[in-house]
Amino acid sequence: MNRYLYTQFYRNKAYIIALLFLFMAGIMAIYTGKKFLDRNEDIISKSEAFQKESIQRNIKFHKDDLGLVLYYIKFNLVNETPRLAALNIGMRDLNPSIQGVTIRNLEEQRYNSDFYNPANAAVGNFDFSFVVVFLFPLVIVAFCYNLISEEEERGTWKLLSVQSGNLQKLLDHKMLIRLLAVTAVYLALMIIASVWIKIPLDLYYIAFLISGWLYLLFWFALCRWVISFRKSSAQNALILLIVWVGINFIIPMSSNILIQKIYPVNESLKAVMEQREGYHNKWDEAKLPTMEKFYKAYPQYRNFTVEENDTFTWTWYYAMQHMGDLESAASSEQYTEKMQKRNQAAVYLGYFLPNLHTQLVESHLAKTDIDNNLQYASSLKKFHEKKRLYFYPLIFSGQTAEPINWGQQTIQVFKLSAPIQWIQILLPYLIFITLFIILSQYKYRKLC
């Protein structure tokens, strides 16, 4: 009987075509991720070369005016992109993996990326996580929705009842065959991705692989429960498709609207406007109040004095630039806080929606999530301050550009080491899988 079930499944051309469809979709998604990594590496490489060329060019033309040299030069900070990001691009297409900043005001430069083609956010990425979350469940539904109803509609259910000593075992074996087939495609794609993209076989990769497979197992458990009600094939398919649409689109979109209402985020634009007004207004204001605020923030520079009747000094210019950042600091902090709350709300929602949980977990493991972007923004702020405090004394003292060792001003990399929270990753899957198995087991007892 078991051999017959295997033969019956693999002789069905529709099933084989569906598996090939999944495999080809997975290959295209992996290719998309590979191209993303290649493009990202190319941008970083060109940025490094451009930074060196920019330094040399500005020193050549403005070697006697260090303040003017540093007005133009951008220093780049790279947000490390792990190879695993090829499987889950996440927010890395909208939030760049490298950002260059001058030692002038930070806030305006920091939020420039917020206005970069926001329409892309609605389109999303055809990455491997997309294939796992959206396409694999459709094939699973197609494989399982009629395991019982098909036999009843053909009139062979009573014959199976006579020939099989345990109908539940028979049905579970048919589902196991489908689980093994889908798992084989999933593992084959993961192995291809690890070899093609050279993803290290570390704990992040293992956690990524397990979370995706448990998500597939969740859908098999859900199908097992739905078909146990012995509805018609059409009803089973309709119910499962409604669930698929509901948890992938309706509930997340409705929740997103609610989260946006609870945590409206307009502070990035507000911070930019406050920062611009903060330093533009300084041109029409007295210099000494600005300098007093600057000295209060950095008392070590009090010996670099500015007179009210001075026409222009770089000391005053960079001081009033920083004042713009200070005047927008409250809005900047509110923006970060609200984005953290939004992310936390999505995490809580993910505990009830395995598809959302999978996306959040895999983007976290690939370091392409909101949390990584916020951590990178915080690191960029520290990076900017470190550059300012290094060059301020040199500019304020009137030093020229030539004596500085510009070879030390290379691209720096931000690396985030996030621990893997195994319980938080696995528990939501295990709860849902166990729940649906128990519920379907109760129905199968009545069935047999």
Residue type, 43: I
Work out the number of other CB atoms within 10 angstroms of the CB of residue 39. Answer: 11
Nearest of 66, 43, 92, 130 to residue 376 by alpha carbon: 92
Per-residue confidence in pLDDT tens, the chain, 448 aa: 577 778 888 899 999 999 999 999 999 999 999 999 999 999 999 999 999 999 999 999 998 999 999 999 999 999 999 999 999 998 888 788 899 999 998 887 876 654 334 334 334 578 999 999 999 999 999 999 998 887 777 766 666 666 665 677 888 888 999 999 999 999 999 999 999 999 999 999 999 999 999 999 999 999 999 999 989 999 999 999 999 999 999 999 999 899 988 888 776 666 666 666 666 677 778 889 889 999 999 999 999 999 888 888 999 999 988 888 888 888 888 888 989 999 999 999 999 999 999 999 999 999 999 999 999 999 999 999 999 999 999 999 999 998 999 999 999 999 988 889 999 999 999 999 999 999 999 887 765 5
In sequence order, the β-bridge partners of residue 237 are: none
What is the 3-state composition of the chain as percent helix, strand, coil, each rounded to the nearest 5? 75, 5, 25
CB 338 within 8 A of CB 263: yes
Assess contact for 85 and 37: CB atoms under 8 A. yes
Quick one: DSSP state of residue 418? P
Bridge-based pairing of strands 75-79 and 412-414 is parallel
CA dihedral of residues 94, 99, 105, 106 (deg, nearest 10): 60
Name the CA radius of gyration of the chain, rounded: 29
Report the alpha-carbon distance of residue 166 to residue 193 in Å, rounded. 41
Spatial CB neighbours of 174, under 8 Å, sequence gap ≥ 6: 5, 9, 147
